Chain A
Amino acid sequence: MTIPFLHPLTGFVGKTFVITEFELRKLRHDFTELVTRALQPALWLLIFGQVFARSGMMHTGNIPYLDFIAPGILAQSVLFVAIFYGINVIWERDLGIVQKFLVSPTPRAALVLGKGFSAGIRTLSQAIVVYGLSLLLGVKLNWSPLALLNVFVVVVLAATLFSTFSLVIACIVKTRERFMGVGQVLTMPLFFASNAIYPTTIMPGWLKVISHLNPLTYVVDALRTSMLTGSASSFGMGLDYAVILLTTIVLVFIGARLYPQLGV
């Protein structure tokens, strides 16, 4: 039995990417879910977006409504994919797999983070779909490399955040039935209490407060600033990144503490 010396940090990072690698290999064997997931953003952009844009009811400042909503729909997509991906830890048909991971010398945080990142990679396919549809609808997208990199990073981080959040809830409720109920209760409020499909300026006071406490709001703001030309950030990219990173770190920490309970 050989154990090469590994610096703890490189070991941790390496193990995290091993977990991600194998989630992606699974995707390579069967990527039909990527296709079916593309339906939701298509419906929101092509139907909801166009209808409300035509209605003239939504006042989104100097940006057309469709442009405004595109980053919001990407964020929504990331949210939904990540939340329902996170629960596959209890939906893993064979809990023996979880036990095998927990019995290996892999740090628990690497297991949790690895799954989070692979949720991130999966949602990148959603980003491609949203960009494609936006292009079709004449949205003024920012194609500069820095902007695209920002979108890439924010999408991966946001997916990690929400899938870890979902994993934490899964560890608490422990059964699929309970989770399905909880899952619905979580995703819709997070989506509607954010600036995804309307600006916070038109919200009633109480909703505005909630939206400012909602990580999705900062995700949307970061995406809106990066995806579109001529869109200024409401909070500043610095604050957006800070909120997303901090929330993700806290959730990974909690997830790493709770994940072992699934092996019992």
Chain B
Amino acid sequence: MSPDVEIETLTRRFGTFTAVDSITLAANAGEVFGLLGSNGAGKTTTIKMLTTLLPPSSGDARVGGFSITRQPVDVRRAIGYVPQAVSVDGSLTGYENLLIFAKLYDIPHGEQETRIREQLKFVDLTADAGRMVGQYSGGMVRRLEIAQATLHRPRVLFLDEPTVGLDPIARDAVWKHLIDLRTNYGTTLFLTTHYLEDAESHCDRIAIMHMGKLAALGSLKELEASLGGGSHTLDEVFVHYAGTTLDSGGSIRDVSAERTTEQRLG
């Protein structure tokens, strides 16, 4: 079975700055694939290209079997996306936030209500569906976003920093639902994160990005073993391949964006 996400020498430049430098990798169907790197490493830009928000400068990728450059609309039907910034509307109820996307993704009218109820149950938000999302906690917002992004049962779910700004309990709840998605529906999860614990605990395979380049790729075991001699932590693996610790790097824009999300969810 061909991979759900196949990236081929994908590059993105902004003027003279190369944010993503010719990366090549693939994520298999049903995998939890983590793109790990500090702020400014190029993870979000990569996700934006894969979700067709941003065209690549060169290279291509196939998502769900469709080319991001030549078949963007087909890619959009096959994917769900949970951006880093809050993406649900606080001036609508939880139910309404799901209804709008049920309509935009062409879920047949007769099935809409059932599907929405299913999704709400899946993320434990049935009781709060009628409340305005502006009143939801950070964890509830993220869970609603997951419900919204998977309403149309996409093959691949992209998540950009899914647990940023969440307390540990909320973080665990979000991961529980994400893993359930893979278990119940075989959804491929392709996410970016700069939290080592998340990558260590949940990802089947990890790619380390640093300054736009792909620094390492493999399962946690493979990466740890590649360092040789005794056992190593992911922290050490990261330092080895990226040449720096995980919390370095990033511009004020990255920090500001992250803080905005933390504020909104916290």
Contacts and interface: CB of A to CB of B under 8 A. Distances in A.
Given A2-B108, A105-B104, A100 B92 contact: no
Contacts of B176: none
B52 interface: yes
Contacts of B103: 14-15, 18
Contact of A94 (B54, B85, B107, B152): B85
Nearest to A29: B91
A58 B141 CA distance: 57
A29 B87 contact: no
Interface string B70-111: 000100110101011111111110001000110111111001
A104 B87 contact: no
Contacts of A96: 83-88, 145
A205 interface: no
A133 interface: no
A75 to B, nearest CB: 28
A94 B81 contact: no
B256 to A, nearest CB: 12
A99 B87 contact: yes
A100 B96 contact: no
Contact of B79 (A22, A94, A103): A103
Contacts of A6: 106
Contacts of A93: 86, 90, 264
A3 interface: yes
Specify the main secondary structure of chain A where it touches its partner.
Answer: helix
Contacts of A104: 76, 101, 104-105
Interface string A1-34: 1111010000100110010011001100110000
Given A2-B111, A103-B51, A103-B81, A30 B73 contact: no
A232 interface: no
B154 interface: yes
Contacts of B23: none
Given A30-B91, A96-B85, A3 B106 contact: yes
A95 interface: yes
A101 B101 CA distance: 9
A62 to B, nearest CB: 47
B104 A264 contact: no
Interface of B is mostly: loop
Given A3-B106, A29-B132, A105-B105, A99 B89 contact: no
B85 A105 contact: no
Contact of B85 (A4, A15, A21, A95): A95
Contacts of B48: 263-264
A246 interface: no
Contacts of A4: 106, 108
Nearest to B72: A105
B153 interface: yes
B109 to A, nearest CB: 9
Best-surrounded residue of A2, A3, A18, A104 (most CB of chain B within 10 A): A104
Interface of B: 48, 51-54, 73, 76-77, 79, 81, 83-92, 96, 100-101, 103-108, 111, 132, 145, 148-149, 152-154, 264
Interface of A: 1-4, 6, 11, 14-15, 18, 21-22, 25-26, 29-30, 93-97, 99-106, 260, 263-264
6 contacts: A2-B106, A2-B108, A26-B92, A94-B88, A99-B53, A105-B106
Given A21-B100, A97-B87, 13 more contacts: A1-B153, A6-B106, A18-B100, A18-B103, A22-B100, A94-B85, A96-B84, A97-B89, A99-B87, A104-B104, A105-B105, A263-B48, A263-B53
